[in-house]
């Protein structure tokens, strides 16, 4: 049993971290594109903004459990199976990337427009503006966002346990729900809370440490 | 070769929004000379910020031309425009420092953009920190600095790519009078020492008086008046200039009693008026009547103007004029209202 719990924790952390990384690989650029192509943005391209905005909103409005089942063909095409921790990463990324894109967009919107104007007045190119001004200036807010993202993804990953994903969610479902083993259920709940807390606290700490605005 | 560095021709800028069209600039013409400190003054909403933003093309004019060093900015390729902007530094009311970078890194920022090697950039940044008197604050983040210090860092940052023009949009408006003076002195020093042309946008006449050579008065999207600061200060033509010079509402002192000659003295901050006037009374052995005064004393220096009535005795009057000339006090003979202004005399 102890072994199963240990494996459960490792699988949960694995799914969460890998999904978060891939979700950011997709979500961060999307968030930047949403920001710069918006009406008041540095490179307004309204049609592109609308198209991406629509896809993002659409994916965000599909409940995760439905998305999970729905994207199974894609999962099978990419991973070769729809069962197990690795397979769950695909729907997790598809669900989390749009959410991350919106969070990134809102973090970038917090950047003082005056600072952007100053950088433009120095002859910064659009690309320099993004990687030298927008992202570094939004860094503390982006880090807070990533702490939220990672805990949200962890929550989704537990849900994925019910349809053949691994991790603590599967453990809780298989032992707690199917076999009615209340003790295992309790232990997994406590462990999930602890893992969430650790991710959350560490994320917030890093965000705080990174912010140069506080003395 | 002309000594003109910036030329603005028939500049128009309109903004179209939901609430209709806003004309921010209408038929603006300017010629800014190399090495001068040129002021642009106007009330809030007059179009000042829009005008500077058009000068470095952060804002594209709706029509009209902006020439920088003889080149029409509209004809530059995007890459060339970025390079042109690197030779126009800019500072702002809100400083606009990068909050996640310390002072040194902020100063290095434009050099990173321009592709200056890191070691060279750091060396130059340290020199600039010295120039603005903040060598000891290299590691401080903007949140750890006062407004005046932040503006100094912003100035150092704007100078890092050795621009030929420094655009200042309300650079002192967020600072207290003392800090304002220090920043203005720094700008004046930079102008002298480095020969950089400075364009000062402000709504404060004091800023114009203190450092500008020439000034344009902008009101409701138009330039209503332009010329030497002294001339405009002595005899503002437009309602808005009068209002800016005498914000208390009292009109320019222009009492001139029939018969007696009166002089309008201008104090531009290079001297204090009390010792001048009392010494004048002693030296010239003549008393003068102060008919009107609108002066301000800052740090023992007088800004503003005053109308004095000369004694009827012509010898004393001549002595007083000679005395004023000797002391480099700018003055102009006061003429009754409506009469044409006679030529001003610069001492
Ligand atoms: N991006 C914009 N979109 C729409 N209207 C604008 C924009 N920028 C400026 N305006 C309008 O243009 C006019 C001039 O604005 P501007 O900012 O140039 O004034 P200002 O003289 O700098 O004022 P202040 O002293 O308050 O800074 C104002 O009526 C303003 O509302
Ligand atoms: Mg303004």
A26-40, A171-185, B177-191 — which is least confidently predicted? A171-185
Chain A environment of B94 (Cβ under 8 Å): 112, 114
- The pLDDT of residue B343: 42
**What fold characterizes domain B4-243?**
Rossmann fold (3.40.50)
- Tokens 């932040």: give the residue: B150
A126 shares contact with chain B (CB less than 8 Å): no
Q: Is residue A215 one of the residues assigned to a domain? A: no
Q: Say which residue, B85 or A160, is predicted with more confidence.
A: B85
A 10 A CB-CB count for A39 gives 7
d(CA B139, CA A214): 14
Sign of the four-CA dihedral B17, B19, B20, B25? negative
- The pLDDT of residue B341: 42
State whether the beta carbon of B58 lies less than 6 angstroms from ligand 1: no
pLDDT at B347 over 80: no
What token pair was written down for B42? 């106007």
pLDDT at B346 over 70: no
Tell me: the pLDDT tens digits for B237-271?
888 888 887 766 555 445 544 567 888 887 776 77
- A156: domain range? 2-210
Q: So what's the ipTM on this one? A: 0.89
CB A57 within 8 A of CB A99: no
Distance from residue B203's CA to the centre of ligand 2 (Å) = 9
Q: Say which residue, B243 or B182, is predicted with more confidence.
A: B182
Mean model confidence pLDDT for chain B: 86
Q: How many separate domains does chain A show?
A: 1
B338 shares contact with chain A (CB less than 8 Å): no
Helix residue ranges, H only, chain B: 48-55, 78-86, 103-114, 118-131, 147-159, 177-194, 205-211, 229-234, 239-245, 273-284, 314-326
pLDDT at A191 over 60: yes
- Tokens 């809102």: give the residue: A106
- The pLDDT of residue B323: 84
User: Nearest residue on chain A to B143, judged by CA atoms?
Assistant: A213
pLDDT at A124 over 80: yes
**Which residues are near ligand 2, the ion (C-beta closer than 5 Å)?**
B 49
d(CA B305, CA B287): 18
Q: Are domains B4-243 and B248-334 of this chain identical in fold?
A: no
Residues ≥6 apart with Cβ < 8 Å to B57: B66, B73, B74, B81, B84, B85
Q: Is residue A177 one of the residues assigned to a domain? A: yes
A 10 A CB-CB count for A150 gives 24
- The pLDDT of residue A44: 92
Q: Say which residue, B151 or A163, is predicted with more confidence.
A: B151
Q: Per mean pLDDT, which of A158-167, A204-213, B103-112, B269-278 is the most reliable?
A: B103-112
Q: Is residue A80 one of the residues assigned to a domain? A: yes
* DSSP β-bridge partners for residue B38: B199, B214
Q: Is residue A60 one of the residues assigned to a domain? A: yes
CATH code of A71's domain: 1.10.3720.10
What mean pLDDT comes out for the span B204-232? 91
- Tokens 């232990």: give the residue: A187
Tell me phi and psi for residue B280, to 5 degrees. -65, -45
- The pLDDT of residue B342: 43
% residues pLDDT > 90 (chain B): 62
Q: E strand or H helix at B307, and its extent?
A: strand B301-309
Contact A122 B85 (CB under 8 A): yes
Mean model confidence pLDDT for chain A: 92
Query: What residue spans define the domains of chain B?
Result: 4-243, 248-334
Local confidence band at B340 (pLDDT 50, 70, 90 cut-offs): very low
Q: What is the largest CA-CA distance in chain A?
A: 66
Q: What CATH class does B248-334 carry?
A: alpha beta
pTM of the model: 0.82
Q: Say which residue, A204 or B328, is predicted with more confidence.
A: A204
Mutation pick for ligand 1 pocket among B19, B45, B220 (CB with most ligand atoms within 8 Å): B45
Local confidence band at B299 (pLDDT 50, 70, 90 cut-offs): low
CB B301 within 8 A of CB B295: no
């Amino acid at each position: 049993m102890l072994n199963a719990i240990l494996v459960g924790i490792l699988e949960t952390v694995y799914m969460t971290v890998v999904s978060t990384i891939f979700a950011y690989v997709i979500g961060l650029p999307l968030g930047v594109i949403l920001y710069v192509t918006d009406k008041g943005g540095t490179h307004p391209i309204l049609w592109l903004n609308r198209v991406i905005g629509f896809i993002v909103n659409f994916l965000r409005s599909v409940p995760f459990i439905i998305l999970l089942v729905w994207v199974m063909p894609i999962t099978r095409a990419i991973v070769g199976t729809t069962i197990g921790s690795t397979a769950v990463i695909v729907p997790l990324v598809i669900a989390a990337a749009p959410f991350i894109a919106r969070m990134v967009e809102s973090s970038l919107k917090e950047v003082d427009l005056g600072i952007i104007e100053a950088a433009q007045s120095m002859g910064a190119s659009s690309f320099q503006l993004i990687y030298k001004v927008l992202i570094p200036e939004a860094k503390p807010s982006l880090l807070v966002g990533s702490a939220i993202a990672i805990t949200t993804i962890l929550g989704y990953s537990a849900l994925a346990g019910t349809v053949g994903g691994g991790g603590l969610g599967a453990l809780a479902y298989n032992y707690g729900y199917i076999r009615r083993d209340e003790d295992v259920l309790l232990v997994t709940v406590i462990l999930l809370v602890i893992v969430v807390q650790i991710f959350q606290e560490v994320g917030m700490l890093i965000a705080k440490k990174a912010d140069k605005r506080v003395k | 070769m002309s000594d003109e560095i910036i030329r603005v021709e028939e500049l128009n800028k309109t903004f179209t929004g939901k609430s209709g069209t806003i004309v921010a600039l209408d038929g603006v013409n300017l010629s800014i000379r190399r090495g001068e400190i040129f002021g642009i003054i106007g009330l809030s909403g007059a179009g000042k910020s829009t005008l500077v933003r058009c000068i470095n093309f952060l804002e594209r004019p709706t029509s009209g031309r902006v020439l920088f060093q003889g080149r029409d900015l509209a004809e530059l390729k995007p890459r060339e425009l970025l390079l042109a902007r690197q030779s126009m530094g800019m500072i702002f009311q809100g400083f606009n420092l990068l909050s996640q970078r310390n002072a040194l890194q902020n100063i290095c920022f434009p050099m990173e953009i321009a592709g200056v090697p890191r070691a060279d950039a750091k060396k130059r940044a340290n020199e600039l920190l010295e120039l603005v008197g903040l060598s000891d604050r290299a590691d401080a983040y903007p949140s750890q600095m006062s407004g005046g210090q932040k503006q100094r860092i912003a100035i150092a940052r704007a100078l890092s790519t050795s621009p030929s023009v420094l655009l200042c949009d309300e650079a002192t408006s967020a600072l207290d009078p003392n800090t304002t003076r220090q920043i203005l002195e720094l700008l004046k020093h930079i102008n002298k020492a480095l020969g950089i042309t400075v364009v000062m946008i402000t709504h404060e006449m004091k800023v114009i008086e203190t450092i500008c050579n020439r000034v344009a008065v902008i009101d409701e999207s138009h330039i209503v008046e332009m010329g030497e600061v002294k001339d405009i200060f002595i005899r503002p033509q437009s309602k808005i200039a009068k209002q800016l010079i005498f914000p208390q509402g009292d009109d320019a002192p222009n009492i001139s009693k029939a018969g007696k000659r009166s002089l309008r003295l201008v104090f531009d901050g290079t001297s204090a008026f009390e010792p001048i006037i009392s010494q004048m009374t002693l030296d010239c052995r003549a008393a003068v009547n102060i008919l009107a005064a609108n002066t301000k004393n800052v740090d023992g220096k007088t800004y503003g103007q005053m109308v004095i009535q000369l004694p009827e005795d012509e010898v004393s009057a001549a002595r007083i004029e000679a005395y004023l000339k000797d002391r480099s006090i700018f003055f102009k003979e006061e003429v009754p209202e409506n009469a044409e202004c006679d030529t001003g005399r610069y001492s």
